[in-house]
Structure formats: C-alpha cells, structure tokens
Amino acid sequence: MQPEIPSKTQRKRAMAELQALGAALLELPPARVQALALPEPLAEAIAEARRIASREARRRQIQFIGRLMREVDPEPIRAALAEAEGRSAAARARQRQLERWRERLIADDAALTEFARAHPAAELQALRAAIRNARKEIADGHPPRAQRALYRLIREAVGES
C-alpha cells in the first residue's frame, strides 16, 4: 500500500502554520531564541527580521523564515513558545511553586529560614525587606506592589529569570 500523499491544501496549511511559528519566534526575547539552538540561517533570518522597519520587507522576511522553518523540527520551538507564554504544565507548576513560597514567607517567619536553606544564593536582606513591605501592604489594604517585588526576588533566588 502506498503512503498517503498530502493534498495541496494540506501542504499549504502546514506551510502557513510553520510561517506563523517562525513569526512567533520574533516575539521571543533574543536570549530565548539563542537558547533554542536554531540552525544558523534561521537564527540570522530572525535577527534580520527584527532589524527591518518596512512592513512589506518584514512580511517577505517572515515568508523566508517560514521557508527555512521547513528544514527544522518544529516541536522544540512549539514547546519553547508554550513555556514562554506560560501555557505549558511545567511553567504553570513553577509559577504555583513560587506563589506558594511567597504566601508562606508572608505568613510565617520560619519559612524564611527554610527558604534560605533550600536556596543558599538568595539575598536574605532584600527578602526580609520585601516580606516586611508585603505584610505592611496587606495590613494597609494597598495594591500588591510589594508582593510582586517579593515574587520577583523569589523567582530570581530559585533561578527563574
């Protein structure tokens, strides 16, 4: 039995999807794109597209990126985009873990000792100040600015940038 040959419509749909995936790479920070270890021509095309200001020239460059995308495995790129957008299960789990740490640090003084033991590189003085500010903020009923700052400090200490 012969393998089924995709129709022209199916091929065009697949090419449009790859082009959209390539265009989504332009939205990622350059450091994330470099971490994907893309082939050199594709990485150069993405860097060039970021420099292009003309709308039509950028559209043609995105089409070129779509053509180059045919030669790479799109699954790692899809996974990286999903994680960058926070849609992956791993990204949501990390976020929940960081939020639990924040809640524990605000609620309990002993949690800071446990956090320091688990993450020795953490800046304890900055964490203490952020915890104190977050508690005061909650007591006064202010918007959660200090709580967000505490979350960022926890994320940095855990190693999530």
Q: What is the pLDDT of residue 100?
A: 93
pLDDT tens string 28-78:
888 888 888 888 999 999 999 999 999 999 999 999 999 999 988 888 888
The answer to whether the CB of 69 falls within 8 A of the CB of 18 is yes
User: Averaged over 92-118, what is the pLDDT?
Assistant: 90
Q: Which domains does the chain have, with CATH numbers?
A: 9-84 (1.10.60), 89-158 (1.10.60.30)
The answer to whether the CB of 149 falls within 8 A of the CB of 157 is no
What's CA 83's distance to the chain center, in Å?
5
Cα distance from N-terminal residue to C-terminal residue, the chain: 52
H-helix segments, 26-109: 30-35, 40-51, 55-69, 74-84, 89-107
Q: Could you give the angle at which helices 40-51 and 8-25 cross, rounded to 10 degrees?
A: 70
Specify the pTM.
0.53
pLDDT tens string 135-152:
999 999 999 899 999 999
Buried b (16+ CB within 10 A) or exposed e, 96-132: eebeebbeebbeeeebbeebeeebeebeeeebeebbe
Neighbour tally for 61: CB within 10 Å: 21
State the Cα–Cα distance between residues 31 and 90, nearest whole angstrom: 20
Q: Which two tokens stand for residue 153?
A: 């400090």
